[in-house]
Homo-oligomer: A and B are copies of this chain.
Amino acid sequence: MSGTVEEAADNKAETAKIWPPNIQAVFKRMAPASRYLGLEIIAADQTARTVEVAFNAGPELCNMWGGIQGGMVAAMLDDVMSLAVGLDLEWGQISPTLELKVSMLNAARPGRIIGRGRVIKRGKSVGFIEGELLAEDGTLLATGSSTATFVTLKRKEEPAE
């Protein structure tokens, strides 16, 4: 490994500039739930509609046996798939998850977990996404699929008195 921590941070900020607006927004102001999961964005490809992230998973994500709780594995998959489908949202649009399905193939332990998300279809009002989580040694930990909808937020209007 070469370079200082400061250089690494600079490189990261430089890379971030080419990310799509929605991914940049996450980079600048991460959601509390994503912060808890230890989310770190590695790459985003708007054309291919793929995202690669890492989850730096600490003991706070664990069950009583020191493994990452199944629900938190599901939350990681939801997070990376939501990022993927968010790649070409319009400004003012959000993409809440409607359905989420997760298969847990191997026990996930605290540490660095790689997450990949890929949009299978981006329709007008619905998107279909796939995701996977891998341990640092390449072991496939979990796979997931989700369905999201696209909602355009309305501006708040004053209620009529």
Give the interface of A toward B (CB within 8 A): 25-26, 29, 31-34, 36-37, 59-65, 67-72, 74-79, 82, 94, 96-104, 107, 153
> By the criterion CB–CB under 8 Å, are A104 and B99 in contact?
yes
A72 partner, pick from B33, B60, B101, B153, beta carbons under 8 A: B33
C-alpha spacing A62/B25, complex, angstroms: 16
Of all chain B residues, the one with the shortest Cβ separation from A153 is: B65
> By the criterion CB–CB under 8 Å, are B94 and A98 in contact?
no
List 4 other contacts, CB 8 Å, given A71-B75, A100-B104: A65-B153, A69-B79, A71-B82, A99-B103
C-alpha spacing A101/B33, complex, angstroms: 20
> By the criterion CB–CB under 8 Å, are B75 and A79 in contact?
no
Q: Can you list 18 residue pairs at the A/B interface with Cβ under 8 Å?
A: A25-B64, A29-B64, A31-B63, A32-B60, A33-B60, A34-B63, A34-B69, A36-B36, A67-B96, A70-B100, A71-B76, A71-B100, A72-B75, A74-B100, A96-B104, A99-B103, A100-B102, A101-B101
> By the criterion CB–CB under 8 Å, are B32 and A62 in contact?
yes
A97 partner, pick from B25, B70, B94, B96, beta carbons under 8 A: B70
C-alpha spacing A32/B110, complex, angstroms: 12
C-alpha spacing A102/B103, complex, angstroms: 12
C-alpha spacing A60/B32, complex, angstroms: 5
**Shortest Cβ distance from A67 into chain B, in angstroms?**
8
What residues of chain B lie closer than 8 Å to A94, measured between beta carbons? 65
C-alpha spacing A78/B60, complex, angstroms: 16
